[in-house]
């Protein structure tokens, strides 16, 4: 496996709405550092695979990092005081209301605010599932 490194031009190619005129390189780098803290960019600190040289190639970690960056940058581009997606808007006498999609947890609700965040949440759902953990090797003989 390999480590994922930040390639700003590649990120902007995948997400053209974050063109240089709208989002600076410094903001993209900040989003990258946040994404790395959430998901990890190396084999050592991430559970998601990244094997660009494999046949077929596996890009899960890079996709997850880009989705996190897209989510954070999208929220950063919202107007001051906006706390969710626009639910309704009026024009004469200006009125806007916002709505957060409700998830089962606070974390899920935060990720569901943007399409990128919702995709990331769906992508990592299998990693969030818990299973049984048996500490030690002395199991009861009948189950």
Higher confidence at residue 13 or residue 89? Answer: 13
Biggest alpha carbon distance in the chain? 73
pTM: 0.77
**Cα angle 113-114-115, degrees, rounded to a multiple of 5:** 135
What's the token pair of residue 79? Answer: 């107007």
Q: What is the pLDDT of residue 141?
A: 59
Whether pLDDT at 140 is above 60: no
Residue 114 has a pLDDT of: 86
């Amino acid at each position: 496996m390999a480590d994922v490194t930040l390639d700003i031009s590649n990120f902007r190619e995948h997400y053209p709405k974050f063109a240089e005129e709208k989002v600076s390189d410094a903001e993209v780098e900040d989003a990258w550092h946040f994404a790395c803290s959430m998901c990890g960019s190396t084999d050592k600190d991430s559970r998601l695979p990244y094997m660009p040289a494999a046949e077929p190639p596996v890009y899960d970690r890079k996709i997850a990092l880009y989705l996190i960056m897209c989510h954070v940058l999208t929220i950063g581009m919202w107007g001051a005081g906006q706390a969710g997606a626009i639910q309704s808007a009026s024009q004469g006498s200006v009125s806007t209301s916002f709505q957060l999609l409700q998830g089962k947890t606070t974390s899920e609700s935060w990720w569901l605010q943007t399409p990128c965040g919702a995709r990331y949440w769906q992508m990592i759902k299998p990693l969030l599932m818990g299973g049984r953990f048996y500490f030690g090797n002395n199991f009861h003989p009948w189950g």
